[in-house]
Amino acid sequence: MTNLAGPVLGLETSCDETAAAVVQSGVVLAHRVASQVPIHQRFGGVVPEVAARNHLLTVLPTLQAVLSDAQLTPQQLSGIATTNRPGLIGALLVGVQTAKALAWAWQKPLIGVDHIHAHVWASFLRPPTETATQWPVPRLPFAALAVSGGHTSLYAVHGADRFELLGRSLDDAAGEAFDKLAKLLGLPYPGGPNVELAAARGDATRFRLPRGMLGRDDGAYSFSGLKTAARLALEALPPDLGEAERQQATDDLCATFQGAVVEQLVRVSLASAERHGLRDLVLAGGVAANSALRQGLAEACHRKRMRFWPVPPAYCTDNGAMVAGLGEALLRLGLHDDPRSLDALATGEVRRLAAAQL
Ligand code: KG4
Ligand code: ZN
């Protein structure tokens, strides 16, 4: 009989990071990320087959390393969680099949986890030095803005198994918009952090870019018009600009672009949260590492007297702790999957959307 209070192992292979972690009662006992960023950098973006093949190489050493860091044997685990949706299908299959084999060999419950929901649940991860009773956590139901390379979604979260979609991007995800701008400007992959660095040196008032979704109040986001406007602004620069002037123009465009993305995310998210009577806002996903976004939302929440819960920067980009954390919460609700039938799904959102509408 498995002890449900024991640690949960989490595996994450949905994109370009092979990550594993062990979490117990929300405390991260160990976590490791084998990053593929240097491998994909020379292609200017993630190559799905290359990602899947590298997961195959790194998944077992990564999970062996976390068990060894946490000084745990497989028998001490209470379950194995893996991201099974959404993501790159070949990449997902590696994590799902590894977790299935381990669950079968070690006779442990298997929990398939939605990657975006896991990003949000990272807001419950707790430092080992804090006790569960004293550590503040968001109050259910709360609003959660998940901003990553593939998604920009706002949820009303009612529980680990109940995510209600309130709004999402009609076109590009926020992270995708950052990555596309970076590519346009010749900045290295992944674009987001490099745009943020350039923006810190830039003047956000030099260019005029559309704010996006002004005048709409239905919780929808849009970033593709902004990306096109940035391209047109770049093309309109005089061709004979010197090196230093071109560098300054790049920094200024990054600052303006970042400001426009932040303004839209703040305005739409807070209006939706208010409309649904939600007083807590979680910020999660890779783009949540952006300090201008964290600051913009912190200030806006303060003005509206809402509580703001940004996920700690270490757990914003893809990691195994968020998967283990949500897996643990689901397991405690008695929810786990049949290892024979758990599938990998490139788009997990569709099923969740349908479920939320029931
Ligand atoms: O959640 P994540 O690690 O992977 C996905 O699930 O997609 O998010 C990656 C995305 C990339 O688009 C990356 O450029 C963006 O998050 N990102 C950032 C920052 N750090 C990562 N965007 C803006 N500012 C950052 N500091
Ligand atoms: Zn992610």
The pLDDT tens digits of the residues spanning 136-145 come to 999 999 999 9
Residue 46 lies in a domain: yes
Does 213 share its domain with 234?
A: yes
Does 281 share its domain with 159?
A: yes
Does 325 share its domain with 300?
A: no
| CB-ligand 1 contact for 152 (6 Å cutoff) | no
Tokens of 37: 């960023």
pLDDT, position 226 = 94
For a mutational test of ligand 1's pocket, the pick from 16, 117, 148, 152, i.e. the residue with the most ligand atoms closer than 8 A to its C-beta, is 148
Check whether 183 has a pLDDT greater than 50: yes
CA dist., res. 155 & res. 242, Å (int) = 46
Number of folded domains in the chain?
2
CA dist., res. 153 & res. 120, Å (int) = 11
Q: Is the preceding peptide bond at 190 cis, omega within 30 degrees of 0?
A: yes
Rounded to the nearest whole angstrom, what is the distance from the C-alpha of residue 229 to the centroid of ligand 2? Answer: 27
For a mutational test of ligand 1's pocket, the pick from 317, 318, 347, i.e. the residue with the most ligand atoms closer than 8 A to its C-beta, is 317
Does 330 share its domain with 225?
A: no
- At 249 the three-state DSSP class reads helix
| CB-ligand 1 contact for 15 (6 Å cutoff) | yes
Does 247 share its domain with 265?
A: yes
The pTM of the whole model exceeds 0.85: yes
Rounded to the nearest whole angstrom, what is the distance from the C-alpha of residue 115 to the centroid of ligand 2? Answer: 6
pLDDT, position 355 = 41
Structural domain of residue 111, as residue ranges?
Answer: 8-125+316-357
For residue 18, the surrounding DSSP H or E stretch is strand 17-24
| CB-ligand 1 contact for 114 (6 Å cutoff) | no
Atom of ligand 1 nearest to the CA of 175: 12
The pLDDT tens digits of the residues spanning 72-114 come to 999 999 999 999 999 999 999 999 999 999 999 999 999 999 9
Quickly state the pLDDT bin for 2 (edges 50, 70, 90).
low
